Structure 1
């Protein structure tokens, strides 16, 4: 594939469509960038050669113009000397030079148009290249994020971690059981303390009832006597 046909394919390519069809978008973007960079180097080299050719045409045009002016001067000189034969010969040479000059001007015009097209193609290719590089950065960022998320997810679902967490829960349950035993002892002490206070209250009640009963019975005996 020639540089110009390849360049045209790249400039006219739809990068989004290429990525939609690709199984590995990152690889496709890298290949596109590499192809664009290589093509850009070749196009710039071609432009440099075209500029050199244009300058060469300009030098030849200047030389032809000087030759035409020189033959014009000789024709005029020959006329002043009465040498019409030499004047005709000089004018004939001038005509040949003017024909060559016209051809050179046509070539120069074509060279100018070619350079203008090359310049447009370079601008378009640079825009495509910048877009591809931007997409490459976006893909790299997304890839890194996805890789980190995948690593985190794999760690989360790692059986070793699950086993460790299971053991942790087992020890946690054992600790809770131990703490329950401690609380059970405290609850027992609390019940004993409540019973002691209840006994005290009961004793007070019994003593009061006993005193009341004795007092009532004592009063009954006094009345019976």
Structure 2
């Protein structure tokens, strides 16, 4: 039990340390979640290695236990064979050989007891290790389930983040449209065109005024010519008339 807690406890502490470190320096949620999956996967791999060593040691202990039981059985058979041989010699009146094989039976029984004792002393440890291995396997299965949940949660959160980012971009675009209304640009352009049209109209009006002034000057000149002509005609007609005296002045 202590070994199981030590293995999974150490792996759990490592995983939590990696998770806390990632959360502390999280800048890109997707990268953080991907790294979290990698770290948890590595933690599972380390747990699998540690559990594999534990299982390997258990299988060695079981093999040794089986070997001790087999050895005890072998020594038991040898003890029976030696005892039977001793009885045969004893029946034949050969006490010396009978004693010899009785002594061999005792040695075999001693070896049998030692092997049985070795096997029996290993049984509590083997039983305990089997419980530990079962618990480790269950814990490892739970870690795999957690990893699947983490991957599923990662995919869900990444999808939600992308959706939120897309919505944020749409909102920013809408905000930009509201702040920089394109119709206002059209209004400015329209005002610029109106000013250009007004300038053209002003130049046309100015040009029209200039032509009118020229015609007015021409009309004035014509009037002056007519006046001069009439004045000359008047003067020409006055030369034939006698002068009229009035006081000191003479009027024609």
Category of TM-score, reference length = shorter chain:
0.5 to 0.7
The reply to whether residue 149 of structure 1 matches residue 147 of structure 2 is no
1:48-94 deviations in Å (ceiling 9; x for gaps): 33333233222211210111001111221121122222222212111
Give the corresponding residue for 1:19. Answer: 16
The reply to whether residue 62 of structure 1 matches residue 59 of structure 2 is no
Question: Is residue 82–residue 104 contact of structure 2 (8 Å, CA) maintained in 1?
Answer: yes
Question: Is residue 11–residue 43 contact of structure 2 (8 Å, CA) maintained in 1?
Answer: no
Give the corresponding residue for 2:129. Answer: 118
Q: Structure 2 unaligned runs (5+)?
A: 23-35, 187-252
TM-score by length of 1: 0.62
Deviation at 1:42, TM superposition (A): 2.6
**Using a 3 Å threshold, how does the CA distance of structure 1 residues 124 and 12 change in structure 2: closer, same or farther?**
farther
Q: Which of 9, 24, 36 is residue 6 of structure 2 equivalent to? A: 9
What is the CA–CA distance in structure 1 between the aligned matches of 2:56 and 2:14, rounded to whole Å? 30
Task: Flag the structure with more relative contact order, 1 or 2, with Cα contacts below 8 A and sequence separation at least 6.
Answer: 1
Give the corresponding residue for 1:71. Answer: 82
Alignment length (residue pairs): 172
Question: Is residue 54–residue 133 contact of structure 2 (8 Å, CA) maintained in 1?
Answer: yes
**Using a 3 Å threshold, how does the CA distance of structure 1 residues 173 and 139 change in structure 2: closer, same or farther?**
farther
Give the corresponding residue for 1:127. Answer: 138
**Using a 3 Å threshold, how does the CA distance of structure 1 residues 43 and 16 change in structure 2: closer, same or farther?**
closer
Question: Is residue 6–residue 39 contact of structure 1 (8 Å, CA) maintained in 2?
Answer: no
What is the CA–CA distance in structure 2 between the aligned matches of 1:152 and 1:127, rounded to whole Å? 37
Q: CA RMSD in A?
A: 3.6
Give the corresponding residue for 1:39. Answer: 50
SS in structure 1 of the partner of residue 21 of structure 2? coil
What is the CA–CA distance in structure 2 between the aligned matches of 1:7 and 1:80, rounded to whole Å? 60
The reply to whether residue 105 of structure 1 matches residue 116 of structure 2 is yes
Question: Is residue 65–residue 123 contact of structure 2 (8 Å, CA) maintained in 1?
Answer: yes
Question: Is residue 85–residue 98 contact of structure 2 (8 Å, CA) maintained in 1?
Answer: yes
**Using a 3 Å threshold, how does the CA distance of structure 1 residues 111 and 71 change in structure 2: closer, same or farther?**
same
Q: Which moved more, 1:88-97 or 1:7-16?
A: 7-16
TM-score by length of 2: 0.56
What is the CA–CA distance in structure 2 between the aligned matches of 1:148 and 1:43, rounded to whole Å? 40
SS in structure 2 of the partner of residue 82 of structure 1? coil
Question: Is residue 11–residue 124 contact of structure 1 (8 Å, CA) maintained in 2?
Answer: no
